[in-house]
Structure 1
Amino acid sequence: MSEPSIVPYVKTTPKPFGVDVEWKWPGGCAVLELQCLHEDGRLMKERIFWPATVCLISGLKAGERLQVRLRPIAEDGSARDWRASDWVEGVSSVDVGEIVEALDEEIRNSCALHGLKGGWFVDKTGKAYIHEALIGDGVVSQNYRVKLNVAGKGKPHEAGMTLGVEGEHSKVEFLADRFKVHEAASSIIENAVATSAKTKIRLGDEMKQAIIDAVRESDLFASLLAKIDAQTASVVGLQQAMHEAVNDALLNALKPGGAIWVGLNRQH
């Protein structure tokens, strides 16, 4: 029996957290073998049947590269040997607009939004909007634990952070043996009380906006994209990645010259 022909056309297209593989079928063939080689050395194999012409390889990080190749499988199961020229490179999308839209759609379709009244959306610039949020009985609390790599004279420090909404009042509380804060253009902190062991900050409307601006102007989405592992891009994994990204943005605001640091120093 003659050797099966080659696949005449193979193309890869970047997608958010994945790569689309497209091909054209050779004549007289109804089965293809697709192999995908990941950056970490994992080799995935899959049989593809006529008339499929596209396959999405998902579960990738932003900008992750891979190699794909296809070959026809004859009716008797035989296939020609692989050639070096069969490999075609693919890379997942790093387009922020595409990724934000994909995340927006993922969250919109998740059960996590059932507690929101009025809906929410994220625009292509990375700005998030939530309208008339209603969660449970109107009381929300979430604990974040952050470990700072180095502080002071090389001594590691850990700082806990709690954010909550209670009734009509907003509260942000930081617990640490010490901390320093970094710069932002401007900030306003109302009714700030600080001690050597504990700092409590009750935020007015202007400070809320200052915090929103600090997060918006930070590397929030860049950090999010770098940390998300799309293989666990379930709602739980997505929320954890977003928590870590918000932590990073707030830690930047706590460094010398940051929004909160400037506000605290103006009180003295």
Structure 2
Amino acid sequence: MSEPSIVPYVKTTPKPFGVDVEWKWPGGCAVLELQCLHEDGRLMKERIFWPATVCLISGLKAGERLQVRLRPIAEDGSARDWRAGDWIEGVSSVDTEEIIEALDEEIRNSCALHGLKGGWFVDKTGKAYIHEALIGDGVVSQNYSVKLNVAGKGKPHEAGMTLGVEGEHSKVEFLADRFKVHEAASSIIENAVATSAKTKIRLGDEMKHAIIDAVRESDLFASLLAKIDAQTASVVGLQQAMHEAVNDALLNALKPGGLLYKR
């Protein structure tokens, strides 16, 4: 039967970058003292309490050797003297496969990759890592809002623009009270009214009919028809009246409540 003053069983097992120390408790003992002597002369001391039976000494290099020993501590804190035969040699693992598995597990459990368990992770440099991604039918959009440092009558102005794609056609929408087109070459603008006289404009069918209706419903056009019926207007007068009728009809139609307002 083993003496109470000694640890009856102590064993070391190689581990990747460490050594496992196992033991059995002597009867009537609840505290052990563990000492570990490293190759560079460092001595580590640790108190171990019942019922632990194993301790991992980590932070070693592959194949690094050390010496370990244990002794019981009495309830009053006293302990027997160390003996030469108390030292037991331990060595860390040099098994390549074990080391690779340990490194792989450490990398998988690292804080940097915890975010991937939720699907994504952003590192300190701002790079994003996506573990698994599925992109089906998607829509990517971007809105731009530009604040100008220009004030009219003390009121700051703000302009915005949205871009998108609809089917096979591109759509550009300008969010502003008014705009002006400046181009050196001619352009084609569908369903739009521009204030630049030098810009060639091709109107859509809906806009054409709206302009025709606006001209027909104007007071000047009605009076013009009356003059034509009465044959009281000259050719020059008729041309001038027609020009005024069209301009007046367009201006009225573009005002709030007009036929062309917000088309």
TM-score bracket for this pair, using the shorter chain length:
0.3 to 0.5
Q: Is the CA contact 1:190–1:202 (under 8 Å) kept in the aligned structure 2?
A: yes
| 1:66, distance to aligned residue in structure 2 (A) | 0.4
* Paired residue secondary structure (2:117): coil
Q: Is the CA contact 1:12–1:21 (under 8 Å) kept in the aligned structure 2?
A: yes
* Paired residue secondary structure (2:124): coil
Q: 2:200 — aligned with what? A: 200
- Aligned pairs for 1:216-235 (under 5 A) are none
| 1:111, distance to aligned residue in structure 2 (A) | 3.2
Q: Is the CA contact 1:148–1:157 (under 8 Å) kept in the aligned structure 2?
A: yes
**1:28–1:98 distance in 2 versus 1, CA, 3 Å:** same
Deviations 1:172-227 (A, max 9, x none): 99999999999999999999999999999999999999999999999999999999
**1:167–1:133 distance in 2 versus 1, CA, 3 Å:** farther
CA RMSD of aligned residues (A): 30.9
109-118 or 195-204: bigger deviation:
195-204
**1:243–1:227 distance in 2 versus 1, CA, 3 Å:** farther
CA distance in 1, matches of 2:22, 2:48: 12
CA distance in 1, matches of 2:102, 2:79: 38
CA distance in 1, matches of 2:218, 2:254: 13
Divergent runs of 4+, >4 A: 1-4, 114-261
| 1:77, distance to aligned residue in structure 2 (A) | 1.0
73-82 or 120-129: bigger deviation:
120-129
**1:248–1:64 distance in 2 versus 1, CA, 3 Å:** farther
**1:241–1:191 distance in 2 versus 1, CA, 3 Å:** closer
Unaligned runs of 5+ in 2: none
Q: Is the CA contact 2:62–2:93 (under 8 Å) kept in the aligned structure 1?
A: yes
126-135 or 83-92: bigger deviation:
126-135
**1:110–1:8 distance in 2 versus 1, CA, 3 Å:** same
Question: Larger Cα Rg: Structure 1 or Structure 2?
Answer: 2
CA distance in 2, matches of 1:240, 1:22: 111
**1:45–1:114 distance in 2 versus 1, CA, 3 Å:** closer
CA distance in 1, matches of 2:20, 2:44: 15
**1:22–1:35 distance in 2 versus 1, CA, 3 Å:** same
Q: 1:264 — aligned with what? A: none
| 1:117, distance to aligned residue in structure 2 (A) | 10
CA distance in 2, matches of 1:93, 1:223: 107
- Aligned pairs for 1:146-225 (under 5 A) are none
**1:36–1:42 distance in 2 versus 1, CA, 3 Å:** same
Q: Is the CA contact 2:17–2:62 (under 8 Å) kept in the aligned structure 1?
A: yes
| Count of equivalent residues | 263
Q: Sequence identity, in percent?
A: 95
| 1:233, distance to aligned residue in structure 2 (A) | 101
Q: Is the CA contact 1:115–1:136 (under 8 Å) kept in the aligned structure 2?
A: no
* Paired residue secondary structure (2:140): strand
Q: Is the CA contact 2:187–2:199 (under 8 Å) kept in the aligned structure 1?
A: no
* Paired residue secondary structure (1:198): coil
Q: Is the CA contact 2:31–2:73 (under 8 Å) kept in the aligned structure 1?
A: yes
CA distance in 2, matches of 1:202, 1:241: 24
206-215 or 82-91: bigger deviation:
206-215
**1:80–1:64 distance in 2 versus 1, CA, 3 Å:** same
Q: Is the CA contact 1:145–1:159 (under 8 Å) kept in the aligned structure 2?
A: yes
| 1:147, distance to aligned residue in structure 2 (A) | 53
Which has the higher relative contact order, 1 or 2, with Cα contacts under 8 A spaced 6 or more apart? Answer: 1
